[in-house]
Structure formats: C-alpha cells, structure tokens
Amino acid sequence: QVQLVQSGAEVKKPGSSVKVSCKASGGTFISYIISWVRQAPGQGLEWMGRIIPIVEETNYAQKFQGRVTITADKSTSTAYMELSSLRSEDTAVYYCARETEEMITTTMAHRYFDLWGRGTLVTVSS
Amino acid sequence: DIQMTQSPSSLSASVGGRVTITCRASQGISNYLAWYQQKPGNVPKLLIYAASTLQSGVPSRFSGSGSGTDFTLTISSLQPEDVATYYCQKYNSALDLTFGPGTKVDIK
C-alpha cells in the first residue's frame, strides 16, 4: 500500500527555517509529482509548490517564491520542503500530497491530489 | 489572479437531505476544478476532479457539475459520515492551484 510518511512536529523561532520530510513507501517515487499544501489553524488549504523528481523540476506558488525550497532524494524516495524566514503566520500543518496529472493536451492537464501524508505541525513561536 | 469563492460558508442539513455547495471562479477555468472533503481532524480526501469525474471509491451520492465560472458539489442524500468541510480547487494554471475558502457541512 502506497503511503506518504511525514516527519514529526517542529517548534521554531521566528526568523529560523524548518525542513519537513515526506517519504514515499510502497510505490514508484520517481514517477510521482509531490506537492506541498499547508493549513493554518482553523483555516483553509494553501498550495505551496511541487517537485517532479524524475526531471528534478520545481514550481512554487508566487506567494512563497524565494522563501520555500522543495527538494527530493530519489535514493531514499523522500521529498523535502524547507521554509525560511519563519514568522508566526507560518504556524500551520504542512501536508505533502501526490499530484496526479492526466494530460489533455501537450500543455493542459487535469491534476489532483489523490494521496496525502498525515501532515506535520510546524509551530513558530518566540 | 483568479479568485475562488464558495457559498454558503456553512450549512446544516438533515440526514437524507440534499446538499448543494457552490464554487465560483472570478474568471473562466473551463472544467479544471476539483473537490476535496476534509473531516474534522483528518487529511483532505479527493472527491471529484475535472468538475464532474468521481474519484474511485467515492460514494455515488456525491456529484459535481459546472464549467467556466460556476460549479456545484451535490450530496444527494446526506449521511452522518459526510460531516466535513468541503473545498473546491482550481488548476487551470499548473502554477496556481488555489483552493476555495471551504464550506462546513453539519447535521441538523
């Protein structure tokens, strides 16, 4: 059974960085697209970016450009999301999710998150 | 940027009742829309993509419709296990996967 297993909760100081991991088990990691989505307490879902390990390509939401780095280690089937310059508003649960892409044309696709990790709570507090 | 809105923000319905949630995009997004269900304390779950395609394993009481700017998620017969917050998400641009603000569904 394919699973995405995330690292444990973190408590960080404002201005520091956090790195969350997401290990895929039971599947073919190299063929995945891994996205990161966060959810602040009591709030909605926010897409942060993705990595396509097979081509080592990353895309980031404009809001997080310059502050987030998503990487992948193909040898361990693990994706990472590092967020820097943390502030209190970054307190949230961070999810990794497998993004499935169904190409319609060469440029357009139906894409959806069909497998999610359990989430990692990151608390930013002085 | 295309903004996503949902209405209502919350609703209560009786078991067996019909529930309709609306999602609107500020510009046309064709049928590049997905719906997710998030039960309290749980991880989001994919219900529908391509506006109306039911994900494998999702009960048939869930359905989606719409294209362009207006979309609906319908639960034909609400069950107690459907208590959750429902989110729409657009993906017409691969670089902007914005979620709607969510609709909380309770049992009356």
Q: Which residue in B67, B73, B61 sits closest to B36, CA to CA?
A: B73
Nearest CA in chain A to B6: A44
Contact between B44 and A95 using a beta-carbon 8 Å cutoff: yes
The answer to whether the peptide bond before residue B8 is cis (omega within 30 degrees of 0) is: yes
Contact between A113 and B46 using a beta-carbon 8 Å cutoff: yes
Question: Model confidence over A79-90: pLDDT tens digits?
Answer: 999 999 999 999
Closest partner CB to A110 (pick from B32, B43, B87): B32
Chain A neighbors of B96, CB-CB under 8 A: 47, 61-62
Residue A7: both structure tokens together: 């690292």
Closest partner CB to B43 (pick from A47, A59, A118): A118
Chain A neighbors of B89, CB-CB under 8 A: 45, 47
Give strand ranges (E) for chain A: 3-6, 10-12, 18-25, 34-39, 45-52, 57-60, 68-73, 78-83, 92-103, 109-116, 120-124
Mean pLDDT of B80-100: 96
Question: Model confidence over B18-57: pLDDT tens digits?
Answer: 999 999 999 999 999 999 999 999 999 999 999 999 999 9
pLDDT of amino acid A32: 94
First to last CA, chain B: 37
Q: Which residues pair with A5 in a beta bridge?
A: A23
CA B98 remoteness from chain centre = 13
Residues B105 and B19 sit within 8 Å (Cβ to Cβ): yes
Looking at chain A, the whole-number percentage of residues with pLDDT higher than 90 is 90
Question: Which distant-in-sequence residues (6+ apart) come within 8 Å of A115 by Cβ?
Answer: A2, A3, A4, A97, A98
Q: Min CA distance, A51 vs chain B (Å)?
A: 12
Chain B neighbors of A95, CB-CB under 8 A: 43-44
pLDDT, averaged across chain B: 97
Looking at chain A, the whole-number percentage of residues with pLDDT higher than 70 is 100
Asked if residue A30 has pLDDT above 90, the reply is no
Question: Which distant-in-sequence residues (6+ apart) come within 8 Å of A14 by Cβ?
Answer: A86, A87, A88, A124, A125, A126
Mean pLDDT of B82-103: 96
Closest partner CB to A45 (pick from B46, B94, B99): B99
Contact between B50 and A110 using a beta-carbon 8 Å cutoff: yes
A28: pLDDT confidence band, cut at 50, 70 and 90? Answer: confident
Q: How far apart are CA A31 and CA A42, in angstroms?
A: 33
Question: Which distant-in-sequence residues (6+ apart) come within 8 Å of A114 by Cβ?
Answer: A97, A98, A100, B46, B55
